[in-house]
Structure 1
Amino acid sequence: MPVYVENRRTSRSTLLSRYDNPTIIDTTSQATMPYRKLSPFYPHGNIPIPFSQGYYAVSVEGIWQGLKVFVNSDIDQSKFAVSNMRGIKRTSKANGQIIGHRKGVEGKAILDYVTAKKEIYIPCYTWVIEQYLQDEMASLSKIAANSSLILLDYNTGSDPFDLTKPVSHATLCKNHLEALV
């Protein structure tokens, strides 16, 4: 059966009208367990930070936010340790325009948005799927074998080369599920 990614803000009634008897799973930090673990904010722990031998973070989002470089602010290693899923985001409003993501904690290079998605975010989230989310992915695979499956996410961007949209972690889950078939 097919797997779809939809915006979490879409009403349940709208989703039910678009799809034939789907199973709807929230994959955000607002989800219930066990699928809350699919959120990039979830504190799995011991996630290796790319290009940073000996450095680890609690969550994928902590890595993504911690390695951001702004006009008025360099990386923020404190984001690597955030375990309560709150206060992780770093914004342009508070730090000035985003320059990019540092290629590693001690790296000199600054990666552009697309490169950072390909070399930081996607590998980190994929690592978490492979290391921590086997049970959840197996459960989703069983659901998808019997019905249409809708994964909810706040972002629905599926193209890592798209500069206008963040990559959806639910899309990364969808891609992983489809690769299992």
Structure 2
Amino acid sequence: MKIVVASKRKKIETLNKEYPGYEVLDITSKAEDPWVKFSPFYPHGNIPIPFSNELSQSVEGLWQALKVFEKEDIDIQKTLITNMKGIKRTVRRLGKVKGHRKGIHGNKLLGYLEARKQIYIPAYNWVLRNKLTAELNLITEKASNGVVLLDYETNGDINDLRKPLSHAHLVKQYLEKN
């Protein structure tokens, strides 16, 4: 299986030169169906919110909902968004991020690394296991000849907190059974 992750910002000509014979799959929120379903913004619905007995429409919705800022606590409304717009919550408007609440009704705030490990990755992996089986099988078939997964972020190191984590890397790791 040959899977690589590359920046969506790279030109297709460059990608074709770097990875001859590989199929390029955009799996961002701007992708075509069925690949757009890999976007954390995609509203699969009924995604369990970690440490809660409630559900979210999207992974990004629950990630943003559980974020706690200086000027604002969690925003459960983010879990209801189905049009992939207006999900992000920013430090510009809400002040510094204090952490992610461990569950909708939880008292504990998780740091960024702990939140990645206990909220984001489990939620995204749940979607891979429960909502994207057919699409994962398609990528696996294509990966015998080589596949380039495009993402806006290319950070595949969960411990590197300087950049957002790449969901394309999570797909790659999932398929490679890491």
TM-score range (shorter-chain normalised) is over 0.9
CA distance in 1: counterparts of 2:163 and 2:135, whole angstroms:
26
Match of 1:156 in 2: 154
Give the Cα separation in 1 of the matches to 2:149 and 2:69.
32
TM-score by length of 2: 0.98
Structure 2: which amino acid aligns with 1:165?
K
Q: Could you tell me how far 1:121 is from its partner in structure 2?
A: 0.4
Find the counterpart in structure 2 of residue 138 from structure 1: 137
Aligned-partner SS, 1:179: coil
The 2-side partners of 1:174 and 1:73 are apart by: 35
Superposed CA RMSD in Å reads: 1.0
Q: 1:16-165 counterparts in 2 under 5 A?
A: 16-53=16-53, 55-145=54-144, 147-165=145-163
Q: Which amino acid aligns with 1:49?
A: I
User: Which whole-Å CA distance do the structure 2 matches of 1:34 and 1:81 have between them?
Assistant: 22
The range that moved more, 12-21 or 62-71, is 12-21
Gaps of 5+ in 1: none
Q: In structure 2, what is the Cα distance between the partners aligned to 1:47 and 1:104?
A: 13
Cα offset for 1:167?
A: 1.2
Could you tell me which amino acid in structure 1 is paired with residue 176 of structure 2?
E
Unmatched runs of 5 consecutive residues or more in structure 2:
none
Please report how far the alpha carbon of residue 163 of structure 1 lies from its aligned counterpart in structure 2 after TM superposition: 1.1
4+ residue stretches of structure 1 with deviation over 2 A?
Answer: none
Q: Secondary structure at the match of 1:135?
A: helix
Distance 1:27 1:92 in 2: 26
Instruction: State the TM-score, normalized to the length of structure 1.
Output: 0.96
Of the structure 1 ranges 171-180 and 130-139, higher mean CA displacement relative to structure 2 is found in 171-180
Q: Deviations over 1:145-170 (max 9, x none)?
A: 1x111000011111111110111111
Q: CA deviation at 1:179?
A: 1.9
CA distance in 1, matches of 2:80, 2:86: 11
